[in-house]
Structures are given as C-alpha cells and as structure tokens.
Amino acid sequence: MTEIKLINKGTDLEKEKVRFLNWEACIPAYGEGSLKNALSMLDVYQVDGFYHTIGGRYGNNDYWCCLRGQKLTTENCMEFNGHPCNWSYRIVYSNAYRHKWGESSIEDSYRCEIFRNGELFYNFIVNKEHYGISKLQQLMFEIHEHPVAFHMQKYEKEIIGREILWKEIPSVITQYCKPGRVLIEPATETQMEEFFKDMMTDYFKIPYKDKFGQDGYVTEDLFAPSINWFR
C-alpha cells in the first residue's frame, strides 16, 4: 500500500529520481511589488516515491514545484495539486451592424474567448448565446484531448513543422498565428503530383498551388475539421 512520504530538510534530492514535467503551470503573483493580474510561473517536477497526496486528481501524487528559474530544493519545494495550465473563457455581449437584402439593422453579437494563463488563445463570434456556450464547452474538451499538448511550455513547437492531412492531402504546418490560426503548405510537390494521379475527377487534378492559393498555402482554423492531426 502506498504511504505518504514527504520531502523534508533531510531529503537529498541530488540522490533522488527527479523528472521535469515542462508544464506551463502558474499562480497569481505574490510578494512585495507584485502587479495586479500578474502571474508567477512554476516549474513542476515528479519526485519518484515522494507522495504528498493519495487519491484525488493525480492519484498517488508525487508532483512537486517551485517558482520558475529556481532549482528545486528542500527549502523552496511546494506540493503540487493544481492544473498543468490555467484555462478560462468568457462571452462578451455586443451589438453588430448587419446589412442584408437592402436592409440594415443592429443585431446582438457574442464574442467568445478562451484564455490560456490569462492570454487570449482562441476566439470566435456567434449570434446566439447558447450556441456560443455549447461551442466553448466543446472546444475546452478538444483542447484537453488534442494531440498537441497545449498545457506544455512552448507548445508552439509541437505545431510548427507538424505533418498533417488537410482535406486528405499530405501537408505540413509552417506557421502558427495567434489566436488560433495555422498556415498550411503541401508536404512536397512530388507528393502532391503523385496524390493527384490517383484522383478520378477534374477537381482533384487542379495544380496544388491553385488549390492552396496563389502562394501555395492556405490559412486554416486551429480546430477546423479539415485538419487531421494524425497520419
């Protein structure tokens, strides 16, 4: 049976198995001179066998942390039961001008925003509040289940250069544009030519530069159904 085993002043961390988790964890800034809405970033580690909590979010929890940039020691370590990354969302009510079929009107509009550690990560606009709420909930699920680990430090490195299928075409993501857009290019011109040879319709025989745009690329929504992140 697992037992509680805490890090104390007598623990020699140099002799223990310590693994850096690279999570983008943070807490509100504290201490003298802390700015309002500022964050103190954390470095999270797994110290094998040193369980401070049994049960709960992480089961047998041997996760410990310290303020980022510091070396984990017995003096500065803290038990970690928090989130690997802080996510939040909000809906901003506003009015929008619309002109359709020769008639102008002012309609309601809802800007839906998702924040990662307080920074705008993704947004979209809808004209029905309940639809915006449902889509936000769905996107939060997709974020947590996505093959890209958005909770990690420098997660952008998992996106740029990643090979994907875009509308079943072998492609690569060459740029990530916040909030929530990616630039996609064909994997190689040779692959495109071979791919089109097997297609039966004239539509798929269009040169790939026309299909991807004059410059040979397209911009796409980060969560667009046209992107298959698995090969």
Peptide bond just before 179 cis, omega within 30 deg:
yes
Closest to 47 (Cα-Cα) out of 30, 67, 25, 64: 64
| Other residues' Cβ atoms within 10 Å of the Cβ of residue 55 | 9
Give the whole-angstrom CA distance, residue 144 versus residue 142.
5
Structure tokens at 44: 């999270």
* pLDDT tens for each residue of 99-149: 888 889 888 899 999 999 999 999 999 999 999 999 999 999 999 999 999
The pLDDT of residue 210 is above 70? no
Provide the pLDDT for residue 201.
Answer: 46
Give the whole-angstrom CA distance, residue 87 versus residue 137.
12
- Alpha helices in the chain, H assignment, sequence order: 129-145, 156-159, 189-197, 208-212
Provide the pLDDT for residue 199.
Answer: 45
Provide the pLDDT for residue 56.
Answer: 82
Whether the predicted model's global pTM rises above the 0.85 cut: no
- Residue with the bigger pLDDT between 83 and 202: it is 83
**Tokens 């974020």 — which residue?**
143
The 3-state DSSP class for residue 66 equals: strand
Residue 202: phi, psi to the nearest 5?
A: -65, -30
Provide the pLDDT for residue 181.
Answer: 93
Provide the pLDDT for residue 37.
Answer: 64
The pLDDT of residue 35 is above 90? no
Strands 53-54 and 119-126, bridge-based pairing: unpaired
pLDDT confidence tier of residue 52, bands split at 50, 70 and 90: very high
% residues pLDDT > 90 (the chain): 64
Give the whole-angstrom CA distance, residue 61 versus residue 81.
8
Please tell me the least confidently modeled range out of 9-13, 170-174, 212-216. 212-216
**Tokens 């809405």 — which residue?**
37
Angle subtended at Cα 120 by Cα 115 and Cα 122, rounded to the nearest 5 degrees: 85
Provide the pLDDT for residue 203.
Answer: 44
* Cβ 186 vs Cβ 212: under 8 Å: yes
* pLDDT tens for each residue of 171-207: 999 999 989 999 998 887 665 555 555 444 444 455 5
Provide the pLDDT for residue 160.
Answer: 95
Provide the pLDDT for residue 208.
Answer: 58
- Residue with the bigger pLDDT between 231 and 71: it is 71
Q: 94: burial class by Cβ within 10 Å (0-12, 13-18, 19+)?
A: exposed
